[in-house]
Amino acid sequence: MSETEARPVFHLHFEGEETRAHTVPGTALLQAIQGLQRIVQLLGYAHEGNEPKQRVRVSYTHERKYALVFKLPESGGYDLPYQIGTISSPTPFLFDPTDIEAVTQRHSEVLEAISTGDKTAFRKAVQSPSIRRLLVAEFSRMQPPARSGLVLNIENASRKKLFTSTQAAKSLAIIADDQAAPITVKQQTVIGRLDALEFANRTLKLQLPDGRTLSGTYGDNYEPLLLENPREFIQVRGEAVLDDQGRLRELKNIQDIVEIDDSPITLLNFQRDGREHRAAKPIEFEVKFDPESESYLATGPFHMFCVAESREELEAELHVTLAFLWAEYVLSPAETLTEDAQALRDELLTAFPE
């Protein structure tokens, strides 16, 4: 048995008065086949990890790989058997059979989920909200008009109905309502690199640390700050629009924009137990911003290394660390310290003379 023969067979099965002579109107057949082909291509698109932005762009190779292959009609209304995947190829190594098997299996799962209105199963079979919405639209378009008297079924090789148009209207309404559920909006702070500004509609584009691009709208009073920070990291806070998977989709009504300040921090003193310790001369700490962790890092004298989520918290952490070092090395008996510890103690006393 060839690999093609081993693939599962489905049946595009029309029933109704007009199919008694094993015929079906061409418009209904064309509409169903075109919709079914787009559905399979979308499933292949999702299987290969693609996420549509505005429209699905299917390559010629993708079209061939996930093509529907129809066989001769069989008796019983108008019954058209089909399989998924190119029937033959001069370069078969281009088409991984495991991909076609996976899409075929997902095809069965989606048919049953939509037929029964099982939102959980539909989400499990297709994780991308965008592709789920496109699938719902294609299933709706491929249905014969009610006035035609035709019933469209999709069956497996054992003639079990995986999908039927008599149930589809209700099921699609349930699933479509799930896709149209209100998108979560909440206040969120985001850090990214300012990549573009569109002054006409007051829209900015940020490149996030994970490489994604995020759009957001802002008030005109923020334009001077934005113009001073092209291609720089900024921190913005606004209404975060999340998709139904909880992932950030866009920002609206940005209320706060803060430039990332990685200039050095200079300390003149620190306090411990209500006592101020003044520096003999200003002590400078180098500051860096790490976009991956969205954190500020400070390094400087006394082998200090501090991390915080904001510059203000970083400066406070420097004060706390100095107070800790003072207690550990200056206030401890000198004879209990190692040679390296005594050297650090001397550095602290020189920097902050009693």
pLDDT of res. 116: 80
Cα dihedral 152, 60, 86, 84 sign: negative
Do residues 318 and 338 both lie within one domain? yes
Torsion region of 315: left, alpha or beta (phi above 0 gives left; psi -120 to 50 gives alpha): alpha
Task: State both tokens at 80.
Answer: 């058209």
Same-domain pairing of 132 and 226: no
* Residue 163 structural domain: 3-179
The pLDDT assigned to 127 comes to 84
| Residue 187 β-bridge partners | 239
The residue out of 228, 259, 290 marking a domain boundary is: 259
Q: Which of 309, 253, 318, 249 is nearest to 286 (CA)?
A: 318
- Quick one: pLDDT at residue 83? 93
- Between the alpha carbon of residue 247 and those of residues 166, 185, 243, 318, 347, the distances in Å are 35, 11, 6, 34, 49
Do 51 and 128 reside in the same domain of the chain?
yes
* Residues 59 and 143 placed together within one structural domain of the fold: yes
Q: Are residues 114 and 84 in the same domain?
A: yes
Do 206 and 167 lie in one domain? The reply is no
pLDDT of amino acid 1: 47
Q: Which of 98, 84, 100 is nearest to 156 (CA)?
A: 84
Long-range contacts of 84-90 (CB under 8 A, 24+ apart): 84/7, 84/10, 84/40, 85/4, 85/7, 87/4, 88/4, 89/64
**Structure confidence at residue 51 (pLDDT):** 66
Intervals of the chain under pLDDT 50: 1, 54, 88-94, 180, 182
Same domain, 13 and 80: yes
Does residue 14 sit in the same domain as residue 96?
yes
48 and 76 together in one domain: yes
Tell me the Ramachandran region of residue 16: left when phi exceeds 0, alpha when psi lies from -120 to 50, beta otherwise. Answer: left
CATH of the domain at 248: 2.40.50.500
> Same structural domain for residues 165 and 205?
no
The confidence score (pLDDT) of residue 94 equals 46
Spatial neighbors of 117 by CB under 8 A, at least 6 apart, are 170, 171, 174, 175
Last residue of a domain, one of 179, 197, 224: 179
Using the 3D structure, point to which of 241, 259, 277 is the last residue of a domain.
259
Residues 123 and 85 in one domain: yes
* Structural domains counted in the chain: 3
Would you say how long the chain is, in residues? 354
Say whether both 44 and 119 belong to one domain.
yes
Q: What is the pLDDT of residues 73-132, one digit of tens each?
A: 888 789 999 999 865 444 444 456 888 999 999 999 998 888 888 888 888 888 887 788
